[in-house]
Chains A and B, each alone.
Chain A
Amino acid sequence: MLLIDCPYCGPRAEIEFAYGGEAHIARPAADVSEAEWSAFLYLRDNTKGVLAERWRHSHGCGRFFNALRDTRTDQFHAFYEIGMPRPDVRDAV
């Protein structure tokens, strides 16, 4: 089980959270081409290494927040609020 550190509630068990996919994906303006729109909807990096991702504390405070997790080791490097810039974390195991 992962221990996830909600920025509002502190460390909680993984069962209280819902995964929200890759973070920092900006919604393009409405007038983009269909190719760009489909890239926004469907294309993700499938990162091997440190990934910025969204989590929601669905069985707690209910808020979305971002986390940096190494997809190879499941180790979390940082937790930060939505709207904050991605922290600078070295891409190391």
Chain B
Amino acid sequence: MVEITEGCALAGLPPMVRLVVQGRVAALDAAAASLGLEAPPPMLRVASGIGGSALRLGPFELLILPTWEARAGLDAALAPVPHSLVEVSDRNVGFLLEGARAADILAGLCPLDFALSSFPVGMVTRTLLDKADAMVWRTDAHSFHVEVWRSFGPYVEAQLREVAKGISFSLLTV
């Protein structure tokens, strides 16, 4: 963790398994069940079970962050239903943005409302961070899991630091 401004730290997340499941209701149900979930999460929400987390990014799409043990079970669970299962572990890089100022920093790059009332804990969405496609997941009141495509990683990190620098500067002047 590196503190990028007072009350906000940024860290790169270690490599993890990421899978995109696309399909109709039956496929999403099967994927959720294999993670130990009763049902797939509703739109823009995350559900976590013993087998990992399922992030509902689209009406027919889940991003799955499975545990190592659950990875193999997913193939078997999805086999009987029409679906697309693509491993994108290496396509994305993840950041952890943590601290009381984390929401302010994201708000500097994105027009979404990051107030806790409109972007509650457990909400996830794809959006734009400045000019780069990104996925933002609120894991806690003051922490966000941000994912971008690997080639956008250095750019998004630089932009996050730039906004943080501005916040540090305004903290100095008040």
Contact = CB atoms under 8 A, between A and B. Distances in A.
A18 B135 CA distance: 18
Given A61-B59, A61-B61, A16 B127 contact: yes
Contacts, number: 34
B128 A16 contact: yes
B111 A15 contact: yes
Nearest to B118: A10
Interface in B59-112: 59, 61, 111-112
Interface string A40-77: 00000000000000000001111100000000000000
Interface residues of B, number: 13
A60 B111 contact: no
Nearest to B57: A61
B58 A61 contact: yes
A62 B133 CA distance: 12
Contacts of A8: 43, 58-59
B58 A59 contact: no
B20 to A, nearest CB: 11
Nearest to A15: B128
Interface of B: 43-44, 57-59, 61, 111-112, 125-128, 133
